[in-house]
Amino acid sequence: MTHPAIEKGRVAVVTGGASGIGFAAARRFGAEGMTVLVTDLPGDALETAVKHLKREGIDATGLAVDVTDRAQVTAAKEKADGLGSVSVVLSNAGREGGGTLFAGEEVWRGTLETNLWGAIHVTQIFLPDMIEGPGPGAILYTGSKQGITLPPGDTAYNVSKAALRAFSESVAHDLATRTGDRVSAHLLIPGFTFTGFTRAKGVTEKPAGAWTADQVVDYMMTGLDKGAFYLLCPDNEVDRATDLKRIRWSLGDILENRPPLSRWHPRHAEAFKAYMASDG
């Protein structure tokens, strides 16, 4: 089984598709017989990715697109329409923030414009035709567990992914109301994944605890088959049960009026540790 939008001869659009999860998803959509439009920032990586896909027999086209520029996303829509009927969009383009609370405005704006506004542009430009069309469709967003549990440190990134989560949830509800889930939205939440971001930190070989991008996409496809919205991926270090316990604790900060991010708070860190060690 596959999601009905993943159909041979139709078009899948993947932003940030030159490497990592985006590239793995483009390969998978292409292997299902879809025509794939891969967008990313201009450069050798995009050209190499498209050549690799074509060598595998995939009908792939590349287009340099900065998702923070609405005009460039509009150009991508026009390019995609020229390839056929778009039924799948993966809004995957993103950047790490590298920004603490008092990071400069350039860091904050760059992070939010890519991770949040990029997704808004993609949604507002690609989704109307999918809603109006008669066939099935799917739009996916690459989120992050950091947008749920908000670990201290990379504040700008956490905020951008938390906002993306809220946005994608609203999109999903709107689509259910408008189309009865004929067109669906999904939030991909990767675990520890060996991608270009990892390499940028100087890690050249996949850590034992990390999943590959292909494993993440395998999990994504399984979740799509089941119609799941939250595609919460484990990895080789953290299983699903651990993820769920951490998320429940984070929600408990609101329900029990604990200090925000109490998991790392000096007065609550031991309680969190005991909670994680318990069977509850």
- Strand ranges in 10-132 using DSSP code E only, listed in sequence order: 11-15, 35-40, 60-64, 86-91
Identify whether the C-beta of residue 152 lies closer than 8 Å to the C-beta of residue 119: no
Q: How many CB atoms lie within 10 A of CB 272?
A: 19
Angle at 204 between CA 203 and CA 206, to 5 degrees: 85
Q: What's the Rg (C-alpha) of the chain?
A: 19
**In this predicted structure, what is the pLDDT of residue 199?**
53
* Residue 202 confidence (pLDDT): 60
100 contacts: CB under 8 Å, gap ≥ 6 = 153, 154, 155, 156
Give the C-alpha separation, 171 to 131, whole Å. Answer: 12
Catalytic residues: 157
pLDDT in tens, 22-73: 999 999 999 999 999 999 999 999 999 999 999 999 999 999 999 999 999 9
Q: Residues, the chain, total? A: 280
- Say how far apart CA 34 and CA 5 lie, in whole Å: 10
Residue numbers in the chain where pLDDT is lower than 50? none
pLDDT per position as a tens digit, 75-97: 999 999 999 999 999 999 999 87
- What are 198's two structure tokens? 């990892």
> What confidence score (pLDDT) does residue 204 get?
73
* pLDDT computed for residue 208 by the predictor: 94
Exposure class string for 79-94: b at 16+ Cβ within 10 A, else e: bbeebebbbbbbbbbb
The pLDDT, as a whole number, for residue 201 is 56
For each of the domains in the chain, give its residue range(s) and CATH number, in order of start: 11-237 (3.40.50.720), 239-280 (no CATH)
Q: In what order do the strands lie in the sheet with 11-15?
A: 60-64, 35-40, 11-15, 86-91, 137-142, 183-189, 230-232
Task: Compute the distance between CA of residue 174 and CA of residue 39 in angstroms, rounded to an integer.
Answer: 26
pTM listed for this prediction: 0.95
Three-state DSSP class for 121?
helix
pLDDT the model gives residue 1 = 63
